[in-house]
Amino acid sequence: MLHSLVPRTGHEPEDWKVKCISIRKRAHSFYKRLAAFEYRYLILELNLMGKNPKGAVIPVLNLKGQYQALQDEIQLAIQKVLSTQSFILGENVAALEEEIAQYCGVAYGVGVASGTDALLLALKAAGVGPGDEVIVPAFSFVATADVVGLLGAVPVFVDIDPASYTIDVSQVKASITPNTRAVIPVHLYGQPANMAELLTICEEHGLTLIGDTAQALGADYHESPVCSFGDFGCISFFPSKNLGAYGDGGMIVVKQKEQADLLKKLRSHGSSVKYCSEIQGWNSRLDEIQAAILRVKLPYLDQWNLIRAEHAAMYNQILGDVDGLIIPKTMSDRTHVFHQYTVRVPNRDAVRAMMLESGIETAVHYPIPLHLQPMYRSLGYRRGDLPVAEKAAEEVLSLPVYPELEDSQIERISLALRAAVESQVEVLLPIEA
């Protein structure tokens, strides 16, 4: 529809084409905002009807409102799968693979059983094995590094950029050795890493670049989907994600058919022909029912991400002047889809306890940096080796940010956090003689 706003002949001057692109972008932005407004109005109606009642506690994650808004569509999609009795790699998986690939601006998508498996199979497809090293950020969910060890390779941990919480590019370059095979930047909390510089480094050194996009589906980097950067883009459909299934699920997006064909073998016991395994593989297939649910949800993803960004802007406005509290920063060359709205506070655990006393749940993503996890003790890392990640792990606190939140709830959360942080700042003030 957007392409039909202006007639095309195929022989337009470049400046005319630029104007058309600008018009289409503005129109697309308008429709996203209109859809976001309509969704927020629907949630308000459900609340007024008592289908989504307000309780004393504001949960850090609440998927009930989303289900109530989409209930009829989701139940119909599930019933269609049940009526076909096709549960493994059926038409919904194939269709979702095409739809996600198109959404991410690449040619191919390969559905797998989880976001963790997406990383594992991508590494395997890249040829990573025993003795290899893979550079990963020290501040992430453990799956980012866990998959490296599962292939017999060694994770090499580097620090993060303090503003974006994504991998510190300067440390990546300094950590490359003859054994380095790949780099996995994590687009943490929904904000892309510095992919331009990482691409340059990986090209210079012949390394595979695998984007961990578990938390950032829909985010843009330099006005292009962040999943389109690098050799592999790995997606998680864990229920809490911005696009979440009703169980585990994941996908790998790639540009080359050869990559997609290899990944499809790896997810099915190394087989492209039934009962004939050509290589060592796994059983890691995206479930047909989950794919059907995700296909219902995918058209809503842009508006959900936009609402999350609006919530973040409201939080920033209310909390921006609180002493001792650091609000998230969105870098100028990328968009942030706010899978998490994560602040930094003094005496985090005390603040969190006070928030819970006020009837507000929060979360900590993540309390232990990867290089200090017990499972990596043998690698010899010590406290103080990666100070930015270590400090973040002591201070980060994630607030509710799901699209179904109401403005009044954000105000309540913000005021409670302001009071909690200010009380801790007073405690930490030096006593004057």
pLDDT at 44: 62
If one compares 35 and 328, the residue with the highest pLDDT of the two is 328
Please give the positions annotated as active site: 241
Nearest to 140 by CA among 120, 164, 176: 164
pLDDT at 224: 97
d(CA 20, CA 25): 9
β-strands 220-221, 224-225: how paired?
antiparallel
Over the stretch 79-123, which tens digit does the pLDDT of each residue have? 999 999 999 999 999 999 999 999 999 999 999 999 999 999 999
Cis peptide before 366 (omega within 30 of 0): yes
| pLDDT for 6 beyond 50 | no
Domains of the chain: 2-53 (no CATH), 77-299 (3.40.640.10), 300-428 (3.90.1150.10)
- Give me the pLDDT at residue 32, please: 64
Q: Read out DSSP for 281-306? A: --B---BHHHHHHHHHHGGGHHHHHH
Lowest-confidence segment of 3-7, 16-20, 43-47 by average pLDDT: 3-7
Does residue 21 surpass a pLDDT of 90? no
Q: What is the pLDDT of residue 42?
A: 60
The mean pLDDT of the chain is 91
Cβ atoms 265, 234 nearer than 8 A: no
**Cα-based angle 332, 335, 336 (whole degrees, multiple of 5):** 115
pLDDT at 52 over 60: no
Q: Is the pLDDT of residue 411 over 60?
A: yes
Residue given tokens 């506690």 in the structure block: 57
**Dihedral of CA 417/423/425/427: which sign?**
negative
Percent of the chain with pLDDT over 90: 85
Phi/psi for 352 (5° steps) reads -65, -40
50: confidence class by pLDDT, cuts 50, 70, 90: low
* pLDDT one-digit tens code per residue, 198-240: 999 999 999 999 999 999 999 999 999 999 999 999 999 999 9
Backbone angles phi, psi at 199, to 5 degrees: -60, -45
Q: Which residues of 149-165 are buried (b: 16+ CB within 10 A; e: fewer)?
A: eebebbbbbbbbbeebb
Over the stretch 256-286, which tens digit does the pLDDT of each residue have? 999 999 999 999 999 999 999 999 999 999 9
Mean local confidence (pLDDT), 299-309:
98
Q: Between 21 and 395, where is the model more confident? A: 395
Q: What is the mean pLDDT of residues 130-137?
A: 98
pLDDT band at 7 (very low <50, low <70, confident <90, very high): very low
Task: Report pLDDT for 425.
Answer: 75
